[in-house]
Amino acid sequence: MKSIFVTGCDTDIGKTFISIGLCLKFEAEGYKTGYFKPFQSGAYVKNNELVAPDLYELKKYSNIPAKYSYLFKGEVSPHLASIIDNVEVDIEKVKNDLKEFQKNLDFTVIEGAGGLYCPAYKGKLFSDVIKELNQEAVIVSTVDLGKLNHLLMTLECAKLNNIKVKGIILNKFPHNPTLSENNFIKELKLFTDTKILGIIPKTENPTKENIIKAFKDINL
């Protein structure tokens, strides 16, 4: 049984899209695949039901099994959202949920929120959650200005916290890159030997088919 924890060097860089892409890739390759979100904030009401937005996004493309441990309404960090909703988080519940969820799966994509130092629950960051769940990380970044700094700091943060990084996925790569964007990978390789697992082009109108095509060469 395999699993990977998808994190990022910033917010709004497409961690959910990357998680969905990995799920669709492994499903297409014949693996029993699942998506697990320990803490889902930003829930909203639709048809009198509370909707988990990232799980709902996955359902647009597939009926891959998906589960969360905690669902919060606030569009804030999971820790702050749990305070707003007056919910006490128990990491043992998360561990048990994941263990139970994985029983009949070949591969599980676990998605965090924010980055490694995003507050997850009382006194704990997502760097702690990754270690508590005994996971390897895939770090998502874009190539726009400033992200090299964020990505290198995230890699250093992982190293300081003894988090094993499987590799980097560069997301939203532009079709007409600027000089800075085009030089991003060359600059990155000057400062780290962390493997680049894949470069995902910016996709304006994603479909299941073109997502699978974009992710087909990623090797975890």
d(CA 186, CA 182): 8
37 flagged as catalytic: yes
Catalytic annotation, pick one of 2, 15, 25, 37: 37
CA dihedral angle for residue 42, residue 46, residue 52, residue 57, rounded to 10 degrees: -110
Both tokens of 51, joined, read 């909707």
| Contact between 106 and 2 (Cβ < 8 Å) | yes
Contacts of residues 177-185 at CB distance under 8 Å and 24 or more positions apart, as own/partner, are 177/143, 180/144, 180/145, 181/143, 181/144, 184/143, 184/147, 184/148, 185/143
Phi and psi torsions of 46, nearest 5°: -140, 125
d(CA 60, CA 185): 32
Catalytic residues: 37
